[in-house]
Chain A
Amino acid sequence: MGNSREEQDFLELYEAHSDAVFRRCYFKTSNRDVALDLTQEAFMRLWGYLAKGQRIDNMKAFLYTVVNNLIKDWYKKKKSIVLSRVEIVAEEIPDVSINIEEGAEVAHVIRMMERLDDGDRELITMRFIDGLSPRDIAEMLSEKENTVSVRLHRAVNRLREFLHGERK
């Protein structure tokens, strides 16, 4: 008796999406351990749902809904955090699998992202942190793909302006 086909599919899904899920959790919580826990919890919930025989039409969208809900729950429990998210990320990024220079640069970008409005920031997060395609984002936000592409393009330009403005 080996793994069932469903188990194998599920574990393949985990291999394919675990980094993206982890990344989202990490950038949202600024805590590597919490991000790992949330990633694990997200996939467990997904399996729990599948094991009950529930139908999932769009696996990726479902996974991100679960992840977002977990992050929201985590924020509710963490109201007492004093340090700002950006400060913690700036400290922790070099600790991840990128070098110090890159870490500082990424931290700077994140700091600039804080200036964007919520919609733009979420779009950039979905595209560049979660690694979702414009089509996936469109499906999740119930929008047209070209609308998402245009919005994304504008959001990136706004971020670029912030970055250039900062350097001048």
Chain B
Amino acid sequence: MSTIKLVIVSGSEYHVDASASNETIRETLKANFPDVGTAEIKTGKRTISLDGVDTEVETVEFVKKAGTKGLDGTELAELLNHIPAMVLPHLPRQQLTPLLRDMLNGRLTCQDAIAHMDSLIVALNAAHVSSPTTSHEGAALCQTLDALPAVAAPAPAAW
């Protein structure tokens, strides 16, 4: 058996010392391949040419997980039933339609939202557009600056 292992990760192949453990290889690769941290390890054998000699080597392939398995129907129902109540801030400085205000205040059910979906989306888009409070922010900043005591500018050291 060869003194090297063939490591396969993200389509690239590397030779490492055969004595290196798979977990040590994983730790080393994680710096450049973050997905390796959760990847599945598949081992096998392959014959490759080493210095012109056909040699059978052990292969260690890190296979990225395609996606996290979703929860099933029962778990999902449980998840939805256990969503904690949320206290939202009262944000009076924005122009909101009554429907949107109801939704933001938690007074709309999903069924209500489905019934008024188009109006809600229009109202949300309008809130995007009507949200430029730059002048208010500017005014607030100026108020703060106005409160600062006036100090004479230092004279230049020399003319």
The answer to whether A and B assemble together is no
Residues of A bordering B, CB below 8 Å: none
Residues of chain B touching chain A, judged by Cβ–Cβ distance below 8 Å, are none
